[in-house]
Each structure stands twice: as C-alpha cells, then as structure tokens.
A and B are shown apart, each in its own frame.
Chain A
Amino acid sequence: MPKTQYISRKQELPLKGDSTGLFLQVIIAIAVFIFAITLSGVLSINSILQNWHQSILGSLTVQIMPITGTDHKKTTAETLAYQDKAIEFLQTVDGVTKVTPLSDEQLKQLIQPWLGDDVNIENLPMPRIIDVKLAPNAEVDFLKLAQDLATASPQASLDNHKLWLSKLIRFADGLKLIALTVLFLVTGISAGAIFYTTRMSLGLHRHIIEILHIMGAKDTYVAQQYARRMAVLGLVGGLFGLFFAIPVILFIGTLATQIEGGIISEASLSVSDWCLIIILPLFATLIAMFTAYYTVKQTLQKML
C-alpha cells in the first residue's frame, strides 16, 4: 500500500491541458507589451508637462528691439541702454523674483543653428533678451505690465509664454487621452479574451463541473481553480511582455534624447514610473484572475 503522505493532490479540473492556455499567454504578453510602451508614453508626457509648468509658467521673456544704423557701436550702446532701463523697471514690479539679461554668448547659442559658429553679433541688428522669473503664485497683469514696460523702455516688448504654452499643454493632454484610451482598450481586449476562453473551457469541462456540483462544490470552488490557473497564465504572459517592452522603451528614450530643441529630451521616467511599468505583470495577473473568477461565477449561475 502506498504511503498516503506522499500522495500529491491533483486539481480536479485539468486546466493545464487546455489548448487555450498558450493562446492566452501570447495575448497577455502582447497586451502587456503594448501597455508598457503606452504607459511609458503617458508617464513621459506627464513629466514633460510638469517640467513646462515648473520652468515656463513662472517666467516671462522681454525682448529689446535693436536700434538700427550704420554706426554699430553706437546703436549697440543705445540698445543696451534700453535694456538697462527695462531691467531697472522690471526689478520694481511686484511678483518678479529675478531679472536676467541673456549674455552675448547665450544669444550666439540661440542663433547658432541658423547662422553657424563664426558670428559676431555686434555686427548684426540682434534683439536683446531678458529672462524674467516670477514668484510661483504671482498675480501679474500682463497687459498693464507690457504698457508700463513700453513706457519705461520704448524698445522693449513683452513676450508672454502662456498662450503658446496652453496650446502645447492642450496638445499633450490630447496625446495623453489617446494613450489612456489605448490602455483601456488593451485591458478590455485582454479581459474579453480571458472571458471567452474561460467560457469555452467551462463548456469543455462541463461534465467535471457537474460532478463537482453533485459532490457539493460551491461555485467559488470551481471559480478558484480557474482563477489560480489564469493567475499563472497572466503572470507568465505578463513577464514575457515586459521582457520585450523594456528594451523598446529604453530605445525610444534614447531616440528622444537625440532630438534637438530640448522639448522631448525633458521627458524622462522617474524611479516610481519604472516601478509602475515593472509591476505590470502583477496587474495582468490580477486582471486575469478576477476576470476568470467572475466569468465562472456568472456562467455557473445558469446551472442548477
């Protein structure tokens, strides 16, 4: 007689042998792959928006139009005099925390992409630019400020970033919404695949489920066996999806940093963002588990 302590318990429902297992794993792997890449996009857009809000919303740019004429030294000196007047005025405005005129070197860097390295800006009618930082909650009447500035320094004009920034933010929000829709669809499609394969499997194992019921098994007993199986499929499929998604996310990140202009390169994933991406297989596990559990419960309701 065999020693009963060595008898290993076998699951009543032979779900491991179901041919749909591999199909589901592939579906979940693809879903997690798409989900991880889209999520990294959403998180990157969030980080860009945050950067914009922090660095641009609290600032203004003042432009001093250059005085034109044949005597470059004289016109440059006059332009700089207007710049000084503007700076003097801006430092007296409530809410302004810092007023920084851009140096010749910084101006050169701005026009370098168009005119090259060997440019002597003194020979060009270059506008001077002043970067103005505002206090975080400063309430500035930009229209009045523009008028006062023009009075204080007639060559100065105010460039308010808020208008174009709001357009950019709206565009980024739109992208985010599309990405969130993709996430929602991917989750829905995966849950749908789990729902239908679970129902198919219930039909396949109906004779076993009937016996379990006659023996007194409650619906939760059957549902738990399905939930356990789907959890394993979800986890394995999810890990595969993540395994292929991480190199793609890193590659896209590398491409983004190579883009000139400094807008896209501001996008970066923080440690918490990576944590969110890495726990996606667990998310897939939970979705698979709960979908299977409730599908079984709902389907068995129709049996006696």
Chain B
Amino acid sequence: MPEINIIEMQNVGIRYDQGPEILSNVRLSLKQGSFHFLTGKSGAGKTSLLSMMYLAQRPSRGRISVFGKDINFTNRDALASLRRRIGVVFQDFRLLDHLSAFDNVALPLRVCGMNEREVRKRVSELLSWVELDAHMLDAAATLSGGEKQRVAIARAVINRPELLLADEPTGNVDNFIAPKLMKLFVELNKLGTTVVIATHSEKLITDFPFPRLHLQNRGLYILPPAEVLSDGGVDA
C-alpha cells in the first residue's frame, strides 16, 4: 500500500503585508503516522508554518496539499471538512473564555453536528482523563494556565484527529502532567495520528527521540533525533 502524504509543501513562502519572507522555499512531505518536533529560534516561523498546516493561512507562494487536496483548488466547505481532521493546540490556548471547560472541549464535536449524548460521553471521559473533571463547568477564563493548557489539548484530541499540531503543548503544565500529555500524543501517534509538536523544550526532545523539522535562516531542515545543531540545537 503506498504511503500517503498528510501534508506536502512545495516551494512555500510566506510574508506578511509587504515585509520580507519569513519562510522561503519550504519543501516538506509529512507521511501518515509520522511524529516530528518542530524546532527553531523564536521568530523563526514555527507558528506561521503551523498555521499553514492547520489551514488558517494561505502561503504567499508555493503549493500546499493537505490530505492530498491542493488548498488553492479547494472550496470553503471542503476546507472546513479538512480542518475537522486536524487537531490544534495553540501556544496561547485560544479557549473561548465565556464558555466552560466542557463547552470548549465539546466545540470540535458540535461543529461536526455530533449528537449531544455522544458529545457529553466523550467530553466528560476525556476531561476526567486530563484530571479536569472537577473544573468541567468552570468558565475557561477562571482556570489556571496549566488547566487551560489541558483543556486546549483535550479540545485538540477529542475528535481523534488524523493530524495533530501542537504549539508548545507542555509549556505551562507541571512535571507530572507534561509526560502524561506527551504519552497521550505518542499513543495517538501509535493509533495512526500524524503529530507535529513545536517546542523549545530540550528535555522533551531528548526524552522522546523523534525526528525534527528545524527552522533556520527562513528554511526548513529535517533532522534525525540525535543530531546536534551548529546554532546550539534547540533554544530552550
């Protein structure tokens, strides 16, 4: 059976307004079921690259295919359908503050039109797993940084996504929760989910030996797990 590219980028460049390109000539093929860390110094373009992957941004030039669909030739409804297959954890969580932890996690299921009984079952199970069952009905605005991060991760994985993109997913959680969350990502990966995690954490990279997509000088380099970089590796 041929391997499927979940994401394919050819000569992708991105710039904001009339500014210089933040990323240039990016070429990338992410195979189904792969696991990568995304590294690079602050401002290297990690968030921009991720936002193109989760279809929130179009490239200034080049071609991007997600799940085999060229996004330049995909209509809005089809783009929405593609997004439903992607889970995203944002660095700043991007929870809806007026909603409860429960409603935030339920969001991806509800936009798909899942029935409320199934939504309640799945959401309460997952919130329990991330140890937030006591805060299920608390408004997101009242949660601590770590709790918000767990809600954001639960929201990203509730839909059992085929592609999981996470921007610093363990940055605000304690040493006990962080490995537990990483274990969740690894488990999802074993079940077939393609995972890309942007991180500054050297510990995470050494504890979990996965290949790296490294951004440097506006370009993207694919590095094996053990490689040490000339610029000092990850700038944790």
Min C-beta distance of A303 to chain B, whole Å: 9
Q: Which of B105-125 contact A (CB under 8 A)?
A: 106-108, 110-112, 116, 120-121, 123-124
A-B CB pair tally, cutoff 8 Å: 82
Known: A1-B136, A7-B137, A9-B103. A218 touches B77 (CB 8 A): yes
Question: Which of A62-70, A166-174, A206-214, A230-238 forms contacts with chain B?
Answer: A206-214
Complex Cα–Cα for A27 and B128 (A):
48
A219 interface hit (Cβ, 8 Å): yes
Most central of A2, A4, A5, A215 by chain B CB within 10 Å: A215
Min C-beta distance of B63 to chain A, whole Å: 16
Min C-beta distance of B136 to chain A, whole Å: 6
Min C-beta distance of B61 to chain A, whole Å: 16
- A219 and B76 form a contact (CB under 8 A): yes
Q: Which residue in chain B gives the minimum CB-CB distance to A6?
A: B137
Q: Which of B58, B98, B116, B124 contacts A1 (CB 8 A)?
A: B124
Q: Which of B56, B58, B98, B106 contacts A210 (CB 8 A)?
A: B56
- B112 and A214 form a contact (CB under 8 A): no
- A2 and B111 form a contact (CB under 8 A): no
Min C-beta distance of B35 to chain A, whole Å: 22
- A216 and B83 form a contact (CB under 8 A): yes
Q: Which of A7, A213, A300 contacts B83 (CB 8 A)?
A: A213
- A304 and B96 form a contact (CB under 8 A): no
CB-CB under 8 A from B85, the residues of chain A are 216
- A304 and B99 form a contact (CB under 8 A): no
- A14 and B98 form a contact (CB under 8 A): yes
B55 interface hit (Cβ, 8 Å): yes
Chain A interface size, under 10 / 10 to 19 / 20 to 34 / 35 or more: 20 to 34
CB-CB under 8 A from B6, the residues of chain A are none
Known: A218-B77, A304-B55. A212 touches B111 (CB 8 A): yes
- B134 and A217 form a contact (CB under 8 A): no
Q: Which residue in chain A gives the minimum CB-CB distance to B80?
A: A218
Q: Which of A1, A12, A218 contacts B128 (CB 8 A)?
A: A1
Q: Beyond A214-B83, A216-B84: 16 further Cβ-contacts under 8 Å?
A: A4-B121, A4-B123, A4-B136, A5-B120, A7-B120, A9-B103, A10-B100, A207-B94, A211-B96, A212-B111, A215-B107, A215-B111, A216-B81, A216-B83, A218-B77, A300-B76
Residues of A within 8 A of B (CB): 1-2, 4-5, 7, 9-10, 12, 14, 207-208, 210-219, 221, 300-301, 304
Leading 10 A-B pairs by shortest Cβ distance: A216-B84, A4-B120, A217-B111, A216-B83, A218-B80, A1-B133, A215-B108, A4-B124, A14-B98, A215-B111
